[in-house]
């Protein structure tokens, strides 16, 4: 009888360890999934909140396009942070600007190519956006 009782205790202890390890693994997976979902929501919110649009021609020999930051919401103002990357020959850099954009509208960022020599090229990217 004692052997059966010992075997049962051993079996239950092993089972609890197995369950604990499985539960820990599941919690770790759930934490990782939550982090991924949060990151995806941030990217989606930034994409929906504001985006860059290009129209028309401008700049040196009309080789550029007018850039705009567009509010993606028709019913909410947004504050968008736009990063501008520039290059001129072997020099390059970047800078950020924050724009408050009324609901359903846009703000002009400028031309993607300067109108003088040496030509400076610009690209724009929304790096942050919040509805206000």
pLDDT for 115 beyond 70: yes
pLDDT at res. 16 = 55
- In CATH, what class is 50-131? mainly beta
Listed by start position, the domains of the chain span 50-131
User: Residue 114: which of 82, 87, 81 has the closest Cα?
Assistant: 87
pTM of the shown model = 0.64
Mean pLDDT of the chain: 84
Reduced to 3 states (helix: H, G, I; strand: E, B; else coil), residue 63 is coil
pLDDT for 57 beyond 90: yes
Cα–Cα distance measured from residue 43 to residue 80, given in angstroms and rounded to the nearest whole number: 13
pLDDT at res. 78 = 95
pLDDT at res. 131 = 92
Chain segment 17-36, per-residue pLDDT in tens: 555 676 777 777 777 777 76
Cα–Cα distance measured from residue 125 to residue 91, given in angstroms and rounded to the nearest whole number: 19
Find the radius of gyration of the CA atoms of the chain: 28
pLDDT at res. 48 = 80
pLDDT at res. 75 = 94
Chain segment 39-51, per-residue pLDDT in tens: 655 555 555 899 9
pLDDT at res. 55 = 94
Cα–Cα distance measured from residue 101 to residue 76, given in angstroms and rounded to the nearest whole number: 9
Who contacts 90 (Cβ-Cβ below 8 Å, separation ≥6)?
A: none
């Amino acid at each position: 009888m004692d052997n059966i009782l010992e075997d049962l205790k051993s079996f239950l202890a092993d089972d609890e360890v197995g369950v604990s390890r499985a539960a820990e693994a599941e919690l770790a997976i759930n934490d990782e999934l939550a982090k991924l979902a949060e990151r995806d929501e941030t990217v989606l919110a930034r994409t929906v909140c504001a985006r860059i649009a290009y129209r028309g021609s401008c700049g040196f020999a009309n080789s550029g396009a007018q850039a705009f930051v567009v509010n993606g919401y028709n019913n909410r103002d947004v504050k968008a942070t736009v990063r501008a990357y520039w290059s001129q020959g072997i020099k390059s850099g970047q800078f950020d600007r924050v724009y408050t954009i009324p609901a359903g509208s846009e703000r002009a960022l400028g031309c993607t190519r300067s109108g003088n020599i040496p030509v400076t090229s610009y690209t724009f990217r929304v790096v942050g956006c919040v509805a206000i």
